[in-house]
Structure 1
Amino acid sequence: MEPILWEWINTVARWLHVITAIAWIGSSFYFIHLDASLRRRAGAPAGTAGDAWQIHGGGFYHMTKYMVAPPQLPEDLTWFKWESYATWISGFFLMCVLYYRGADLFLIDQDVMALAPWQAVAVSVGALALGWVAYDRMCKSPLGRNDAALAVAGFILLVATAWAMTRIFSGRGAMLQIGALMATMMAANVFLLIIPNQRKTVAAMLRGETPDPSLGRQAKQRSLHNNYLTLPVVFLMIANHYPLVTSTRYNWVMVALVLVVGTAIRHFFNSQHAGKGSPWWTWGVAVAGMLVAVWLSAFGPALPAGSAASLAPPTKVSFNQVEEIVLSRCSMCHAAEPVWDGIATPPRGVVLDSEAAIRRHATEIRLHAGLSRAMPPANVTQITPDERAILAAWSGDTAR
């Protein structure tokens, strides 16, 4: 009964996380679009940045933005904060349920670094906290006065962190960790700066004082960071389903590429919304970045420490070789009745206990265990680089 209960907790937590993320991303995209589409018009109230007319659901909306605050505080004021809080809380809970509870399978790879589960969890939580502190201090330093320089520094910080995580965790764990770090930065921006600055603005108005304009500028800068980080975070959060992204040799470079691609796509839409034209070159950058990622994924899995720099692919592979590897390295979990402790049913319903089943799942075997290190999780059955090379060279259609 316990595995069934945890599976449902995982399912409901994931569902909640997706729902809250949709709400947060939707409001983020909407307000960045609104801010960019504001136009100054004659006769606008004093202190406004502009207004925008919109139509939706059969009605017209007239939106006006004040540069700092309106002359009087409105009686009803909607705060956009719970979407971000709920997204981070549900995401961290899901991380605890799946990656921290199953750290020995999903977070740790003994061939990368020999860690106890508690050590892996401690490193993960510590990296989230330290990553936020480093980013926040960069924003508050003189570097934060130059948006372009700050963007470059933030890019270097994230890519360097991604590289470091791939030297500590499994490929899947490292990609989730860097995605969680970006999400933590985004949620902390809301919780620790954007909302507090808005509260300071409201408090100043209640005292009859003029709010500090720098509070709004700081909040807008962090909100823009959140907007540009959204697409890379979404990519990294779904990447754990795709072994060629998470578990190949240059997965940390793919993080850099995804940051560039996601930023380029958001820049295209932000520019359009602001009426600054359509920078079609951004789509060229996006396509080129993804093509480079595809090329990098073909280099295969990272080799364990001490292995040869490269392995020559076998010139001839027999099905008997493949069957022996699969039955000895995979079938203890991928069986009608798994014998691995804690696994009640074969993962994803894949059973690999016969020739017909192995041939039927040839593509999945090559992708997850031959071309990448996604399987076995944490390499618990100690499949060797030579064995992976055999699986990578094998095709169910041509093997004999």
Structure 2
Amino acid sequence: MGFDFLEWLNLAARWLHLITGIAWIGSSFYFVWLDNNLERPGSDAEAAGVSGQLWSVHGGGFYHNQKYPVGPGQLPRNLHWFKYEAYFTWLSGFSLLVLVYYVGARSFLIDPAKAALEVDDATALGITSLIVSWLFYHNACRLLARWPLALGIVWFGYLVGAAAFLESVFASRGAYLHVGAIIGTAMVGNVFFVIIPNQRKVVAAIKAGEAVDPKLGAQGKQRSVHNNYMTLPVLLIMISHHYPMTYGAQRPWLVLALLGATGIAIRHIFNVRHRNGPTGRWIALAVVLALVSVTYVSMEKSGAPAAQASVDPDAISFADVQPIIEQHCTSCHAEQPTSELFSEPPLGLKLENFEEVHAASTKVKQMAVDSDAMPLGNMTGMTDEERATLGAWIDAGDPE
């Protein structure tokens, strides 16, 4: 087995993305929880500018948190900042986008059946979508700052539109990941362009003995709350490539919209619960959205016209599907892949003989029959009839 530098680089970037993402999300969730649970301080603390406080216990110790909405009168000697978790999460995520979807654009991003894109065109379009989306979101925040609900509706509508557009030009899996990258870029943009600069201005004003503009803290909190609500949808997209019934649907952008709204509702349940508010209607909304998502995908599959197998389903055998598997599957899923994309079979899955295909038949049906997730980008041109034949063989109990 040779040394595959790109695979190890991919692993390093993915691991870093996971590590820093956990750190960023954990701190973000904690501070939103903290802010929602603050209690009114005593008169002495309130006179000193404290707007809320909280006592908590963890790991055998007791902690006392106090919040100064515009900063304390004098800065402490050690002031901890929370920014590098966000920066490295985005940098590692963008590195993965480049390594997987731009370097491997012909397999993971470009779908010739949708748009005749060259690698450079697809890459430029993907990067442009990130820049344009950040500019739209950032300016929408400025224009609709006093109408948070309207802002949320506008941004959600934009994301749905972006998902539909990207789905029309990219392979579905690549479109999904770009929507996730758009959301992640908005989140880190909030930290880099608004939250941290505003905090620096507050610190500078306190050091100079000047009055602190309360709008700086309000703007930072607004963007922090936005990040809190965007977290679960972006996490869903991060794991979506394992579940082709999402991006493999006939209208994957609609499935993404429904599941994304479910994630927003779930996050809102936690936020309301932190404030000891009623959560019943929000739980009901989340359940309804989840059920609508599942029902839609199920109805879509049952209502789609079924392709006919190229052989008699009642007399089908492995000999009928083996040529299909050899043409469309084994270039990647073999002991020694002939595809330039892989030096080893993806996920260790080999499909070179009856025993291997029979053992993986459920996975094969999920990826290549119930959806067109495989072959990647359908670069081998697998037809609906071939998928139907493969599905008929699996449904018949994988006869040899």
Per the TM alignment, residue 373 of structure 1 is displaced from its structure 2 partner at its CA by 1.6
Deviation digits for residues 171-197 of structure 1 (CA, Å, limit 9, x no counterpart): 110111001110010000000001011
The separation in 1 between residues aligned to 2:180 and 2:173, in whole angstroms, is 11
Q: Secondary structure at the match of 1:276?
A: coil
Q: 324-333 vs 249-258, which deviates more?
A: 324-333
Corresponding letter in the other structure for 1:42: G
Per the TM alignment, residue 393 of structure 1 is displaced from its structure 2 partner at its CA by 4.6
Corresponding letter in the other structure for 1:84: A
The separation in 2 between residues aligned to 1:352 and 1:397, in whole angstroms, is 19
The separation in 1 between residues aligned to 2:217 and 2:333, in whole angstroms, is 55
Q: Equivalences for 1:94-243 in 2 at 5 Å?
A: 94-141=96-143, 143-243=144-244
Q: Equivalences for 1:1-400 in 2 at 5 Å?
A: 4-43=4-43, 44-46=45-47, 47-141=49-143, 143-277=144-278, 279-298=279-298, 311-314=305-308, 317=313, 318-319=316-317, 320-398=319-397, 400=399
Q: 320-329 vs 390-399, which deviates more?
A: 390-399
Q: Secondary structure at the match of 1:202?
A: helix
The separation in 1 between residues aligned to 2:68 and 2:250, in whole angstroms, is 50
Per the TM alignment, residue 112 of structure 1 is displaced from its structure 2 partner at its CA by 1.8
Q: 211-220 vs 71-80, which deviates more?
A: 71-80
Deviation digits for residues 317-344 of structure 1 (CA, Å, limit 9, x no counterpart): 3234433322222122222222223422
Deviation digits for residues 214-246 of structure 1 (CA, Å, limit 9, x no counterpart): 111111110000001101111101111221122
Per the TM alignment, residue 363 of structure 1 is displaced from its structure 2 partner at its CA by 1.1
Q: 256-265 vs 186-195, which deviates more?
A: 256-265
The separation in 2 between residues aligned to 1:274 and 1:375, in whole angstroms, is 46
- Change in 2 beyond 3 A, CA 1:221/1:8: same
Contact 1:51–1:65, Cα closer than 8 Å, also in 2: yes
CA RMSD of aligned residues (A): 2.0
Q: 79-88 vs 5-14, which deviates more?
A: 5-14
Per the TM alignment, residue 73 of structure 1 is displaced from its structure 2 partner at its CA by 2.0
Corresponding letter in the other structure for 1:41: P
Per the TM alignment, residue 103 of structure 1 is displaced from its structure 2 partner at its CA by 1.0
Deviation digits for residues 294-314 of structure 1 (CA, Å, limit 9, x no counterpart): 33334678xxxxxxx953343
The separation in 2 between residues aligned to 1:226 and 1:260, in whole angstroms, is 15
Q: Secondary structure at the match of 2:332?
A: coil
Per the TM alignment, residue 110 of structure 1 is displaced from its structure 2 partner at its CA by 1.2
- Change in 2 beyond 3 A, CA 1:396/1:344: farther
Per the TM alignment, residue 69 of structure 1 is displaced from its structure 2 partner at its CA by 1.5
Q: 58-67 vs 125-134, which deviates more?
A: 58-67
The separation in 1 between residues aligned to 2:231 and 2:300, in whole angstroms, is 28
- Change in 2 beyond 3 A, CA 1:210/1:26: same
Deviation digits for residues 14-62 of structure 1 (CA, Å, limit 9, x no counterpart): 1111000000000000000000000113313333221110111111111
Using the aligned pairs only, state the percent identity. Answer: 43
TM-score normalised according to structure 1 size: 0.92
Per the TM alignment, residue 13 of structure 1 is displaced from its structure 2 partner at its CA by 1.2
Contact 2:369–2:388, Cα closer than 8 Å, also in 1: yes
Per the TM alignment, residue 81 of structure 1 is displaced from its structure 2 partner at its CA by 0.6
Deviation digits for residues 242-301 of structure 1 (CA, Å, limit 9, x no counterpart): 211222212111221122111111111111111224x03333332332233233334678
The separation in 1 between residues aligned to 2:299 and 2:277, in whole angstroms, is 40
Per the TM alignment, residue 2 of structure 1 is displaced from its structure 2 partner at its CA by 6.9
Q: 23-32 vs 11-20, which deviates more?
A: 11-20
- Change in 2 beyond 3 A, CA 1:264/1:393: farther
Corresponding letter in the other structure for 1:36: N
TM-score normalised according to structure 2 size: 0.92
- Change in 2 beyond 3 A, CA 1:73/1:121: same
Q: Secondary structure at the match of 2:169?
A: coil
Per the TM alignment, residue 87 of structure 1 is displaced from its structure 2 partner at its CA by 0.6
Corresponding letter in the other structure for 2:104: G
The answer for unaligned runs of 5 or more in structure 2 is none
Aligned residues: 391
